[in-house]
Amino acid sequence: MAEEKEKSHARFVERLKFWEGLLEFASKKTQLHAGRSPTKDNLIGGPTDITGINLNYVVLEHEARVEIWIGRGSGRAAENEDIFKRLFDQRQAIEHAPSAADRPKPRRRSTFSHR
């Protein structure tokens, strides 16, 4: 029990350090994450400049990803779907944009998802 608790604590400390580095790096690129604080949680998210569009960083044991959360609100499913389709249609351009050179290359094919 104590060993498991120690492993859990070490994981939270490691994750906190990761978030500190990521947020520092991101702050040099964009103000979208200004005011965000590192956390022991596996997700940091927040709104973009576009209403109903959020960005989430997610870190798991062997995987990390960025999610675009599309949620314009109740009764606006068609609008959410339209935003998703427009992003999906530009997927190749987004993934190969010049700023992509700053990002690590994905180890597997990236996927889009929406709700």
CA angle 91, 97, 99 (to 5 degrees): 130
Structure confidence at residue 86 (pLDDT): 94
Take residue 81 and report the two structure tokens written for it: 């779907």
**How far apart are the C-alpha atoms of 73 and 77, rounded to whole Å?**
8
CA 24 to chain centre: 15
On whether the CB atoms of residues 3 and 28 are closer than 8 A, the answer is no
| Higher per-residue pLDDT: 33 or 108 | 33
Q: Please write the tens of the pLDDT for every residue from 5-61.
A: 888 888 889 999 999 999 999 888 888 888 889 998 999 998 888 999 999 999 988
**Stated pTM of the model:** 0.68
